[in-house]
Structure 1
Amino acid sequence: MSSKALIDSAVFNSTTSGRKGIADQLFAHWFSRLVYAQIWEDPQSDLDALALKPGANILTISSGGCNALAYLSANPAAVHAVDLNAAHLAMLNMKQMAIKHLPDYDAVLAYLGDANQSDNIKRYKRHIREHLSDDASNFWESRSISGQPRYHYFAHQAYQHGLLGNFIGLAHYFVRMMGGNLSKVLEANNLQEQQTYFDQYVAPAFETRLFKLLAQQPLALYSLGIPPSQFEALKHDAKEGLHTLFKERMRHLCCDFPLDENCFAQQALGRRYDTSKQKALPLYLQQQHFDALRSNIDRLHPHHMTLTQFLQKQPRESMDAYLFLDAQDWMDEQQLTALWEEVTRTAAPHAKVVFRTGGETSPLEQKLPASILSLWHTDTEKNRALYATDRSAIYGGMHLYTKI
């Protein structure tokens, strides 16, 4: 099934009608291209929540692929990475083959970490090209708007590409237009200075009349991967206006964690990874995990289908961990129930599910039948504590459910 058909099936549901129906169609069209060159959920928070034992079977959504690769550090039996969008699976395959076939860690860091060296064209042609899947090869060898094959992204700031990468670039331009400067926060030397620079160079942009207007437009947020249904959840939580909600989440990203330990802030504020600092890199690119990732790289399996379709093919009690990102925000009651029927059937004893939500609250208590919900346990206070550890800070909640 094509990416468009899969995305349509996910976005169009019982709530698709009227003005929302038009918005759903626009979002589905927008989301069918490369959205995320890197992922925006913190894998360290995931691993802390899951406390995986070696040999676990893991199901995750691929997105930009960073987290699926990070989970290999836990020595699982398998990581199954599902995505509706073939472009995301092409990105995952590129990263997987780079880790597997480039000569050493330094070459991997240059290719996937810096992702801005002319020698990366040679690395691609010599070590990666022949190992890509057919679908990934078709994606990377096809030409982008610039006229060059897409594999040239990795010689020209790979993470500034994709819809989210473009959005971040526009955000930098917007803040400068409003008299601020996102990149100035990176000059801070400690958490106190991060707060001071944020208040001086970033926060005022959120209070401008123009931003307040843009924050009310769902279309303006499509490049963040926020569908119309999730936008409604954001509005519900925005007691003081969406501009204030977005400002506080940006404050969490910029101010609550040391910058040299936050790869998400490095991308949001600097539009690159700081390859000179190991803790500032995504977990999957840190040298301490390289040997484990390379040893386990063939345990990563991509699947172009929905989560429910994948689980319908799995044996009973065969999965230990599920990571759903924010996909459930897209689902109506019927879709969510169908998914959790399969999650409950395939869950091994004490299996765990981790996901994010655009709003603060989990949708499960309102949408799942009691017969399913009674088989799972969650702890609201623990969920809040987990959320506080997620350095990406773009969501309203992080939730952990454990099979009873």
Structure 2
Amino acid sequence: MVVERLSKTWFNLVHGRNIVYNQCWEDPRLDRVALELTPQDRVVVITSAGCNALDYALAGAGHVHAVDMNSKQNHLLELKQVGLKHLDYPTFWKLFGKGSLPEWNEVYPSLLRPNLTSDARKFWDHKGILFRQGRRKSFYFRCTSGTFAWFVNYYVDRVAKMRDAVNALLAAENVEQQKSLFEQYDLAKKLWKPMIKFAMRRDVTLSLLGVPRAQRRQIDEGYPGGILQFVMDRVEAVFTKIPLKDNYAWRVYLTGEYSPEACPEYLKQDNFERLKNGVANQVSRHTNTMQGFLEGQSEPITRFILLDHMDWLSKDPAKKILTAEWQAIVDRAAPNARVLWRSAGLDGTFINPIEVSIDGKKKTLKEILSYNDRLANELHPQDRVHTYGSFCIADIRR
């Protein structure tokens, strides 16, 4: 219990006043297939960095509600939306494609600041340094998850001295080349030195990645070899089994920037024009819990994207929060609403025993969720991020 309290205290210190995620760590290409979005869809998603909320709007959703307890994540999404509306494409690309805008002091006061809400303005008045070059050259080497990426790059460049190998992998034309290069450079041995193995077992390190102890426990209890082996296996799979050519999630953390060929959809020039011309307005921001947001809504929701946050609530006493959240989901769900979520655990159906009330009767989630295991099992191995143990797609049947 002492370890649990210390871990929670550290996690809160790390994340309490920070942008935690400077890019989304879920692959929206899978979500587009699973969600089958139409203009009739009303979507709710946990904001994270906002990349995927914009992606769902581009994919054709009628409206996307981006909800996050951390107001800073919504400030980041707001900066993207304001930038889309008021910047030209080259400037926007510098800001979020390169992660660095040297002319921030000229662009921000004239084009961005006047169009931000008061809370976001107060935040970015003090946080413009995140986009100005310094010892850390990029926004993607800053914030909480970016700090971890910066340490990784320091290790790659200064300790393991494997930058040539990483660059060769990112330039590879196919998976076969990647696998050959991985073996040629003996990356498994170079990467997993004792100091890295030690660090990956520490709650301090995992906190920088936004992994709370409850989620870490899920992996330790369910994965052979625990958290360290899970990470080692996932990294090797990314380098040897999944094409890196368009894997923007890993590219940006290994280089500090995206490339035109490997970037989120909102950063592509054609999509930039669509977003500027109104699509970005189809995304609204809400600083709230998922439960709180849903309880304040009267409009039915057709699509719910819960990321991996249910892992955080998987152990007592937090399970009560998860139960209340699912009651709110069921209460606001349109007929045949669809829910997506990911889990660090190998079985995302750990939520099945949760009971909710429908028409005055108690039912378990197992009774009302119709899982599309075939599609989930087909999509999950294609996940470019590849850091989750399971992926679930389910329709709510009353």
**Normalised TM-score (structure 1):** 0.87
Partner of 2:132: 152
Q: In structure 2, how many angstroms separate the alpha carbons of the residues matched to 1:30 and 1:306?
A: 19
Q: In structure 2, how many angstroms separate the alpha carbons of the residues matched to 1:188 and 1:403?
A: 42
TM-superposed CA distance for 1:282, in Å, is 0.6
Partner of 2:286: 303
Partner of 2:307: 325
Partner of 1:28: 12
Gapped regions of structure 1 (runs ≥ 5): 1-16
Residue 150 of structure 2 corresponds to residue 166 of structure 1:
no
SS in 2 for 1:261: coil
Q: In structure 2, how many angstroms separate the alpha carbons of the residues matched to 1:140 and 1:336?
A: 33
Q: What does 1:239-278 align with in structure 2 at a 5 Å threshold?
A: 239-275=224-260, 277=261
Q: Which amino acid aligns with 2:243?
A: P
Q: In structure 2, how many angstroms separate the alpha carbons of the residues matched to 1:81 and 1:393?
A: 23
Q: Count how many residue pairs are aligned between Structure 1 and Structure 2.
A: 379
Q: In structure 2, how many angstroms separate the alpha carbons of the residues matched to 1:235 and 1:44?
A: 29
SS in 1 for 2:303: strand
Q: In structure 1, how many angstroms separate the alpha carbons of the residues matched to 2:162 and 2:226?
A: 21
Q: What does 1:207-356 align with in structure 2 at a 5 Å threshold?
A: 207-275=192-260, 277=261, 280-294=262-276, 295-315=278-298, 318-331=300-313, 332-356=318-342
Gapped regions of structure 2 (runs ≥ 5): 356-362
User: Percent of aligned pairs with the same residue?
Assistant: 26
SS in 2 for 1:142: helix
Q: Which region of structure 1 is more displaced relative to structure 2, 32-41 or 175-184?
A: 175-184
Aligned CA distance change for structure 1 residues 299 and 139 (closer, same or farther; 3 Å)? same
Aligned CA distance change for structure 1 residues 207 and 266 (closer, same or farther; 3 Å)? closer
**Normalised TM-score (structure 2):** 0.88
Q: What does 1:79-228 align with in structure 2 at a 5 Å threshold?
A: 79-103=64-88, 105-142=89-126, 149-150=129-130, 152=132, 156-176=137-157, 177-181=159-163, 182-199=166-183, 200=185, 202-205=187-190, 207-228=192-213
Two-structure CA RMSD over aligned residues (Å)? 2.3
TM-superposed CA distance for 1:77, in Å, is 2.7
Q: Which amino acid aligns with 1:307?
A: M
Partner of 2:359: none
Q: In structure 1, how many angstroms separate the alpha carbons of the residues matched to 2:194 and 2:104?
A: 43
SS in 1 for 2:95: helix
Q: In structure 2, how many angstroms separate the alpha carbons of the residues matched to 1:372 and 1:366?
A: 5
Aligned CA distance change for structure 1 residues 272 and 255 (closer, same or farther; 3 Å)? farther
Residue 392 of structure 1: which of 349, 361, 385 is its match?
385
Partner of 2:360: none
Q: Which region of structure 1 is more displaced relative to structure 2, 246-255 or 331-340?
A: 246-255
Contact persistence 1:45–1:386 (CA under 8 A): yes
Q: Which amino acid aligns with 2:379?
A: L
Residue 26 of structure 2: which of 13, 27, 41 is its match?
41
Q: In structure 2, how many angstroms separate the alpha carbons of the residues matched to 1:75 and 1:188?
A: 33
SS in 2 for 1:374: helix
SS in 2 for 1:394: coil
Aligned CA distance change for structure 1 residues 223 and 92 (closer, same or farther; 3 Å)? same
SS in 2 for 1:320: strand
TM-superposed CA distance for 1:227, in Å, is 0.2
TM-superposed CA distance for 1:68, in Å, is 0.9
Q: Which region of structure 1 is more displaced relative to structure 2, 256-265 or 295-304?
A: 256-265
SS in 1 for 2:91: helix
Q: In structure 1, how many angstroms separate the alpha carbons of the residues matched to 2:245 and 2:106?
A: 30
Aligned CA distance change for structure 1 residues 269 and 156 (closer, same or farther; 3 Å)? closer
TM-superposed CA distance for 1:265, in Å, is 2.3
Q: What does 1:57-76 align with in structure 2 at a 5 Å threshold?
A: 57-76=42-61
